[in-house]
Amino acid sequence: MPIVLPTDHLSPSQVGMYTKCGEQYRRRYVEGERRPPEVAMLVGRGVHGGAEGRHRRVMDTGEEMPRADVVDLAVAVYDGDVDEAGEVDLGAEADRGTDIVIGEARDRTATLAGCFADKVAPQIRYPIAVEEQIEIPVERLGISLLGYLDVAHEREDLVAYPEGDSAVIVEDLKTGTKTRSQADVDGDRQLSWYAMGWRHRTGTLPHGVGIRQVLSQKRGPKAVLVESQRTDDHVAALLKTINAVAVGISAGVFPPAPDGAWWCSARWCGYYSTCPYVVGKVIFHE
């Protein structure tokens, strides 16, 4: 039976959404119901924008980007995304007022971008791929696997490959408030996807992967790196998951979130108030 999807590709975000809640995936990708972006997401995009600009400058010119420029770029990306969105999901902070929440998030973007420039940038001295799209055709399924690497960089302090090249680390940049554990990073499916993409690009798995976190905390911003590794077995397990997701979507199977899932709430899901699994409506999909 041929695989039929609402898009011509699968991405880490799509697979992650489906495995967390098939109904959320159906609403977003099958029905095309787009929700306003959350404030935290816009902050993350802003910091990513500043990081991308910095990495590209270093990669292209070998020159470091001044801290002020990183911050200005991050804030410009944030402002642009707010304007483009028109409406922003304020979540639990809605009662504080749009202007206040948006303004504080803008300040948070600047603070986190400054932390990135101070604490993270000096540790990524040799970026070799920045926000690079990697597409992997899967002829058997008739789709492509699409991913974007945040940054891949060379680490001279690690054991080099036999050919003498520096070890390559592929990192994902995250913002937030809580540090991810080693177990979280070891089991992160998105990092396995990035490792698979790097193997497709170069023929070799990266020396390591990691999640670089820039966190908002009461004592001030904090930068944390949690590293891990991926093997061919991780990639094989990922491909099995992708296959199961593709088959489920194609068959029209969209299960709800697991019982007790923290993301199944009005705060974390924009579809919660109209979800048939929450409000008790019975809908049969043919």
Which of helix, strand or coil describes residue 214? strand
147: CATH: 3.90.320.10
- Say what the pLDDT of residue 281 is: 47
101 within 8 A of 43, measured Cβ to Cβ: no
Distance, CA of 146 to CA of 11 (rounded, Å): 5
Distance, CA of 18 to CA of 242 (rounded, Å): 10
The total number of structural domains in the chain stands at 2
Q: In sequence order, what DSSP letters do the residues of 127-196 get, joined into one string? A: EEEEEEEEEEEETTTTEEEEEEEEEEEEETTSPPPTTSPPEEEEEEEEEESSPPPHHHHHT-HHHHHHHH
Of 31-40, 56-65, 255-264, 265-274, least confident by mean pLDDT is 265-274
Which residue from 40, 7, 17, 16 is spatially nearest to 190, judged by alpha carbons?
Answer: 16
- Say what the pLDDT of residue 280 is: 57
Q: Is residue 257 included in any domain, yes or no?
A: no
Q: Is residue 192 included in any domain, yes or no?
A: yes
- Say what the pLDDT of residue 165 is: 53
70 shares its domain with 110: yes
- Say what the pLDDT of residue 256 is: 95
pTM equals 0.88
- Say what the pLDDT of residue 1 is: 61
Which residue from 154, 175, 173 is spatially nearest to 165, judged by alpha carbons?
Answer: 154
Its domain, for residue 109, covers 39-122
Does residue 206 register a pLDDT over 90? Answer: yes
Q: Is residue 2 included in any domain, yes or no?
A: no
Final residue before a domain boundary, out of 82, 102, 122: 122
130 shares its domain with 240: yes
Q: In sequence order, what DSSP letters do the residues of 3-46 get, joined into one string? A: ---SSSEE-HHHHHHHHH-HHHHIIIIIS--PPPPBHHHHHHHH
Q: Are strands 222-228 and 208-215 parallel, antiparallel or unpaired?
A: antiparallel
Average pLDDT for the chain: 90
- Say what the pLDDT of residue 141 is: 78
Which residues make beta-bridge pairs with 133?
Answer: 148
118 shares its domain with 141: no
92 shares its domain with 189: no
CA distances from 159 to 156, 164, 166 (A): 8, 9, 7
Q: Is residue 210 included in any domain, yes or no?
A: yes
